[in-house]
Amino acid sequence: MTERNEAGVWQEVPSPFCGIASDDLTISVNDQQVTVIENGDPITVKGFETPITDTVPRVDGQETSLANAVQRIAELMRDSQQTVISGLGTDLNGARSAMALADKGRATVDHMNSTGAFRNFLVLQDTGWMNTTLAEVKNRVDLLLVVGSDIESAYPRFYERMVWPQETLFSQDIESRDVIYLGKAPSGDASTSPKGKKAQVIPCDDADLPEVMSVLRALIAGRTLQADQIGGIAISVLSDLAEKLKAAKYSVVTWSAAMLDFDHAEATVQTLCEMVKDLNVETRSSGLPLGGKEGDTTVNQVAAWQSGYPMRSNFNRGYPDYDPYLSDSLRMLADDEVDTLIWVSSFDIDRTPPKTDTTTVVLGRSGMTFGQEPAVFIPVGTPGIDHAGRAFRTDSVVSIPLRQLRDSGLPSTFEVLSAVEQAL
Amino acid sequence: MLMKLTGGRIVDPAHGVNDEVRDIYVNNGRIVKAPSDGKIDQEINLRGKVVMAGAIDMHTHIGGGKVNIARTMLPEDHAADVVARTELMRSGCGHAAPSTLTAGYRYAEMGYTAGFEPAILPINARQAHMEMHDTPIIDKGGYVMLGSDDYLLRMMAANDDQESINNYVAWTITHSQAIGVKVVNPGGINAFKFNQRKLDLDEKNSFYGVTPREILLRLSRAVKELGIPHPLHVHGCNLGVPGNMNTTLDTITGIDGLPMHMTHIQFHSYGTEGDFKFSSGAAEIAEAINSNKNITVDVGQILFGQTVTASGDSMMQHAAHSHAHPNKWVTMDIECDAGCGVLPFKYKDQSYVNALQWMIGLETFLLVEDPWRIFLTTDHPNGAPFTSYPHLIKLLMDKSFRNDVLSELHPEAQKASRLASIDREYSLYEIAIMTRAGAAKLVGLADRGHLGVGGAADITVYTDDDDREKMFSKPDYVFKDGKMVVENGDLIDVTWGTTHVVKPEYDNSIEKELKGYFDKYLTMKMGNFKISDDEIVDDGRGSLTIQPLHKGGRI
């Protein structure tokens, strides 16, 4: 458990920032300054060490009390025809309070990472998948196929923690593990084995990935092809890959939906997931979608159990009206369908609201700066630093308890949104 | 405030009270003696009404990862049953995979005051509790799943002693905040990860060399020796496979007389006779239950229509995936701990197999003689959504209704079943045993499921009606911990129930080895795995109720 020793050093601290919930961090806290001493990475270090600047809420740029700021948000919502609550970079109870407020205030809910997340949800809701979780990867993977994603840039410790452990449950020789990239090449060496075995890279452009994945699936299904290359890749190379996947005992196919940033990438995710199902006719293979940043998994989970749907429901008619297209908050803002935007972003000061003329309320991490001052800004605490909480990691299975590491006095998103709901 | 419930017809099998007119007094959420001075603050006239304890669903998938996968993947199912917000209630959705809020409201409106999630993966227990925390009114709790976790299988492969296994079981139940232990396809979920596609009772896991029979014996012994009141909760081998009745009979007789609860037994009672190579094994299974007093079962009745099956049994769900309706499905391997599979499913009354499944479930209800050892479930939502319970009660209590429904089903299935010839009709008293007194005893709830002094004032009041479906759909009143939450079938107040757990004792020295295991092989620290009592209390509306262990168990 996260615990503090006498010197003000915390052990076994979980990271709500890294998506894979690394919980082996050692962290020191001196007054308000947090320092990652052990097991940090660029994303986690930034997450923990971003200093506190402002602590006072502002309305129209003027400092005011929290109570006044809350009243102002409630007024805006009362006068609103269509509120959107988005961003939603928050933890379990922040998500609960956002859902309760959306329900009462007839708002639409969305998350800052929904564009990527829905590339997966649309597949889940259409055909499903066979997926796995991180500890299974750690102990079982013999072939890791990375599709269209430079995962180490977003998940710096994924390889160290999940692919190159010192020991596994089934006495597998770690060096026997193969890593193959299809699409983007890795930006660093995290995918290189401890003894220096490099990942195989089968490069292609994002624009060619839909075709390349379709061909790979076809080869695995035993279809014969007329073409001898696709997207600049020789069919023989893809045939080799297909044979390796069929020969593997526990292959894992991973992708970051956020990095599959092209039109209708959900169709490519679907091809990938169906390919994994095909492989399971004879052997074992699993998908592993990587996400879990800025509370996206947490918020989608809470929304699903409280409303039946992930993000992108509109409560305007008094019940959850789910539509992945119509309730896309970015589309709604662009089409001028929103009069009040409530943006929650308690993890990362750089995840500011989208540029819009719509009246904007921000519950943001202290230190956040704006090109255009929002109508209301409330600096809120960061879960796992300023207040306790819980957060899900990428696989939607494991959640971690977050501890309060310092006493900053910053309110939690839960406290603020619950107060707004009361005031409504 | 002292409340008197006057003149109801009390049906309280825990005290052998069968339809006797009595008064009940309630104070501070508890049932109390009549005040010596006769002073009361409020009186509610229940003359002529049927009064039972609040009903307890001892097996219902209401929270946790697979349930939430089911919710997320079924927008089209919710669309037909979206639930609007009211002054009192949050919005949500109902039917097969209801939102937590709607599930709580609807259970209460049906007179249920507790529900138990039967498949809590240790590594996913935190989520199950989050969801149950957001389930209003009813009490909740759950059974933690073991038997396909690599830690237990390693211990068994190393032939560790029973004491070590007991410690591990007690440690897991304590830190996942559970009230019982469940095993799903013993060892089979693990075997599926090694590409085994079936695992019979005496078939070895290809890596560990351990068999399902050994797992069942080890775990049921642990549960008994720890004094955990709820017997090992078993989802057996070969779910859904024609001919699995033989495995089930073997499982019943092979448990050395240890207490064992076999869940959704209907799905495990299939023979291979007839033109369709699919027949009812209900008579043989019921006979085995009748003669083995250590066995309890719940039925997992199927009812016709669209639903979704959500199970920890990744192996058998994968094997069944071609039956998914609509055609989408999920399986997951989970964290060297367990797995899950989610398949939408439509039971059709003109399908031979589905019709016979319906008959097998009802045959089982009617042929098992002791209502204290059989429980009313649809394995929500796997056989049908829990909202169909009043319909199921009518099928059990009303032979002519049952036979009318039967006569409309697949004709060949009718010929293959003896259901039409069974005359038994359940009495109100027997229904109260199955859904109250027996369920509380089985789960290990000392203070629920009865109307005796000292019990929690979870009380449901019905208007007697020959149409039992109507009667059980809309209670006149439901009291939860003494507070009226339902009046004339409608919710009038929203409260938050408690979470029932047991805390068996264990030798803390096992944490040394467990910590090393977590550090080396898992992806979270042992300390962060543990769910604290504070997490159950959460924002203040949750609470923890520690139920007593059986004598012989160490407290």
DSSP per position, B293-349: TTEEEE-----SEEEEEEES-HHHHHHTGGG-SSS-EEEEEETTTEEEEEEEEEE-T
For residues A401-410, one letter each, b for 16 or more C-beta atoms within 10 angstroms of the residue's C-beta and e for the rest, the string is: bbbbbbebeb
Is the domain of B482 the same as that of B537? no
How many domains are there within chain B? 2
Cβ contact (<8 Å) for A168 and B69? Answer: no
B73 min Cα distance to partner chain A (Å): 4
Q: Is residue B555 part of a domain?
A: no
Is the domain of A146 the same as that of A178? yes
Residue B341 sits in a domain of what CATH number?
A: 3.20.20
Q: How many CB atoms lie within 10 A of CB A3?
A: 11
Q: pLDDT tens digits for B198-218? A: 999 999 999 999 999 999 999
With CA atoms as reference, report the closest residue to A47 among A165, A164, A156, A189: A156
Residue A171 sits in a domain of what CATH number?
A: 3.40.228.10
Q: Is residue B43 part of a domain?
A: no
How does residue A112 score in pLDDT terms, banded at 50, 70 and 90? very high
Cβ contact (<8 Å) for A135 and B68? Answer: no
Is the domain of B229 the same as that of B86? yes
Give the end of a domain, one of A256, A271, A290.
Answer: A290
Is the domain of A311 the same as that of A247? no
What is the per-residue pLDDT for A324? 98
Is the domain of A268 the same as that of A313? no
DSSP state of A199: P
A2 torsion bin: left (phi>0), alpha (psi -120 to 50), beta (else) = beta
Q: Is residue B17 part of a domain?
A: no
DSSP per position, A202-244: EE--GGGHHHHHHHHHHHHTT---S-SEETTEEHHHHHHHHHH
**How many Å apart are CA A403 and CA A383, to the nearest integer?**
8
B-chain residue closest to A157, CA distance: B523
Is the domain of B419 the same as that of B524? no
**In this model, does residue A3 exceed pLDDT 80?**
no
Q: Is residue B315 part of a domain?
A: yes
Q: Is residue B7 part of a domain?
A: no
Cβ contact (<8 Å) for B75 and A309? Answer: yes
Beta-ladder partners of B4: B25, B43
What integer is the mean pLDDT of B513-518?
Answer: 98
Q: pLDDT tens digits for B64-115? A: 999 999 999 999 999 999 999 999 999 999 999 999 999 999 999 999 999 9
Cβ contact (<8 Å) for B126 and A128? Answer: no
Which residues, 6 or more positions from A222, have their beta carbon under 8 angstroms from its beta carbon? none
**In this model, does residue B554 exceed pLDDT 50?**
no
How many domains are there within chain A? 3
A303 min Cα distance to partner chain B (Å): 9
Is the domain of A159 the same as that of A257? yes
Is the domain of B494 the same as that of B506? no
Is the domain of B381 the same as that of B437? yes
What integer is the mean pLDDT of B406-430?
Answer: 97
For chain B, say whether A21 makes contact (Cβ under 8 Å): yes
With CA atoms as reference, report the closest residue to B147 among B66, B217, B206: B217
DSSP per position, B273-302: -TTTT-EE-HHHHHHHHHH-TTEEEE----
DSSP state of A54: -
Q: pLDDT tens digits for A144-193? A: 999 999 999 999 999 999 999 999 999 999 999 999 999 999 999 999 99
Is the domain of B513 the same as that of B409? no
Is the domain of A138 the same as that of A241? yes
A8 min Cα distance to partner chain B (Å): 19
Q: How many CB atoms lie within 10 A of CB B231?
A: 22
For chain B, say whether A39 makes contact (Cβ under 8 Å): no
CA angle (B323 as vertex; B319, B326 as ends), nearest 5: 130
Mutate which of B333, B337, B515 to disrupt the A interface (most A C-beta within 10 Å)? B333
**In this model, does residue A413 exceed pLDDT 60?**
yes
**In this model, does residue B551 exceed pLDDT 90?**
no
Is the domain of A286 the same as that of A156? yes
How does residue A295 score in pLDDT terms, banded at 50, 70 and 90? very high
Is the domain of B400 the same as that of B387? yes
Cβ contact (<8 Å) for B65 and A400? Answer: no
Residue A418 sits in a domain of what CATH number?
A: 3.40.50.740
Q: Which two tokens stand for residue A82?
A: 């269509």
Is the domain of A56 the same as that of A192? no
Residue A90 contacts residue A346 (beta carbons within 8 Å): yes
Of B127, B207, B342, the CB nearest to A399: B127
Q: Which two tokens stand for residue A341?
A: 């935007």
Give the end of a domain, one of A265, A290, A315.
Answer: A290
DSSP state of B266: G
Q: Which of residues 310-369 of A touch B (CB under 8 A)?
A: 310, 315, 317-322
Is the domain of A329 the same as that of A206? no
What is the per-residue pLDDT for A7? 75
A62 min Cα distance to partner chain B (Å): 32
What integer is the mean pLDDT of A315-320?
Answer: 98
How does residue B516 score in pLDDT terms, banded at 50, 70 and 90? very high
Is the domain of B299 the same as that of B366? yes
B-chain residue closest to A124, CA distance: B73
For chain B, say whether A121 makes contact (Cβ under 8 Å): yes
**In this model, does residue A346 exceed pLDDT 50?**
yes
Q: Hey, is A201 helix, strand or coil?
A: strand
Q: What percent of chain A has pLDDT over 90?
A: 98
**In this model, does residue B157 exceed pLDDT 70?**
yes
Is the domain of A128 the same as that of A277? yes
Is the domain of B391 the same as that of B515? no
Phi and psi for A388 in degrees, rounded to 5? -75, 165
Is the domain of B476 the same as that of B538? no
Is the domain of B539 the same as that of B404? no
Q: pLDDT tens digits for B455-504? A: 999 999 999 999 999 999 999 999 999 999 999 999 999 999 999 999 99
**Residues of chain B with C-beta less than 8 angstroms from the C-beta of A136:** 193, 333-336
Phi and psi for B187 in degrees, rounded to 5? 75, -15
Is the domain of A272 the same as that of A144? yes
What integer is the mean pLDDT of B381-397?
Answer: 98
What is the per-residue pLDDT for B278? 97
Of A125, A169, A322, the CB nearest to B150: A169
How does residue A1 score in pLDDT terms, banded at 50, 70 and 90? low
Residue ranges making up the domain that contains A88: 51-113+294-423
Of A12, A301, A308, the CB nearest to B527: A12
Q: Which of residues 90-109 of A touch B (CB under 8 A)?
A: 92-93, 96, 100, 103-104
How does residue B552 score in pLDDT terms, banded at 50, 70 and 90? low
Q: pLDDT tens digits for B41-78? A: 999 999 999 999 999 999 999 999 999 999 999 999 99
Q: Is residue B27 part of a domain?
A: no
Is the domain of A89 the same as that of A152? no
**Residues of chain B with C-beta less than 8 angstroms from the C-beta of A315:** 85, 91
Rg of chain B taking only CA atoms, in angstroms: 22
**In this model, does residue A380 exceed pLDDT 70?**
yes
Q: Which two tokens stand for residue B37?
A: 């001075």
Is the domain of B430 the same as that of B514? no
Residue ranges making up the domain that contains B101: 53-499
**In this model, does residue B293 exceed pLDDT 60?**
yes
Is the domain of A239 the same as that of A163? yes
What is the per-residue pLDDT for B555? 37
For chain B, say whether A12 makes contact (Cβ under 8 Å): yes
